[in-house]
């Protein structure tokens, strides 16, 4: 992603769908990922709300954390705690790489593929989350 977003300007669109068939999006007019030496840091700005809310605000300027490479700001590895890999901070408002939940599962907290600013609930998994970039220059 760094090689791709380093040379040109990109925007990001995140499309979400819940299990009731509702669809929303979040749009960012600027999206890039930093180099490996900087932990593949996320840079997003220019948010436009399509109903999803801005869950990436909490993740902006964060390094990418995986099970084997803890680069988040929490005292534990967020990828291990929430069974995903993402640009975690302390830990997440979005977890698109989390466990696929079949909608609302109150027995499981925050390990699912959630987008908190839409559902205001860490136990509601999305039917689908897609993150798409498009060149703007």
The answer to whether 15 and 126 have CB atoms below 8 angstroms apart is: no
Number of domains in the chain: 1
Name the more confident of 134 and 108: 134
Angle value at C-alpha 70, between 127 and 1, nearest 5 degrees:
60
CATH number at residue 22: 3.90.215.10
Report DSSP state, residue 20: T
pLDDT per position as a tens digit, 70-115: 999 999 999 999 999 999 999 999 999 999 988 887 777 788 899 9
Q: What are phi and psi of 107, to 5 degrees?
A: -80, -10
CA distance 54 to 61: 14
What b/e sequence results for 31-69 when a residue is b if at least 16 CB atoms lie within 10 Å of its CB, and e otherwise? bbbbeeeebbbbebeebeeeebbbbbbbbbebbbbbeee
How does residue 137 score in pLDDT terms, banded at 50, 70 and 90? confident
Q: Over 90: is that where the pLDDT of 54 sits? A: yes
0.85 exceeded by pTM: yes
Out of 13-22, 61-70, 72-81, 107-116, least confident range = 107-116
Mean pLDDT of 19-24: 98
pLDDT at position 106, please? 78
pLDDT at position 19, please? 96
Report DSSP state, residue 94: B
Closest CA to 42 of 30, 50, 34, 51: 34
Mean pLDDT of the chain: 96
Judged by phi (left if over 0) then psi (alpha if -120 to 50, else beta), residue 67 lies in: alpha
Mean pLDDT of 31-46: 98
Domain that holds residue 41: 2-135
Q: 103 to each of 69, 85, 118, how far by Cα in Å?
A: 29, 20, 13
């Amino acid at each position: 992603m760094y090689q791709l977003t380093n040379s040109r300007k990109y925007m990001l669109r995140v499309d979400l769908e819940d299990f009731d068939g509702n669809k929303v999006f979040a749009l960012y007019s600027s999206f890039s990922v930093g180099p490996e030496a900087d932990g593949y840091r996320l840079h997003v700005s220019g948010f436009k709300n399509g109903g999803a809310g801005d869950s990436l605000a909490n993740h902006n300027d964060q390094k990418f954390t995986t099970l084997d490479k803890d680069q988040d700001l929490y005292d534990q590895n967020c990828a291990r705690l929430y069974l995903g890999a993402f640009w975690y901070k302390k830990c997440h408002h979005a977890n698109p790489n989390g466990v696929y939940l079949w909608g609302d599962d109150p027995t499981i907290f925050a390990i699912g593929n959630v987008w908190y600013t839409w559902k205001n609930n860490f136990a509601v998994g999305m039917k689908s989350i897609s993150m798409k970039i498009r060149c703007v220059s």
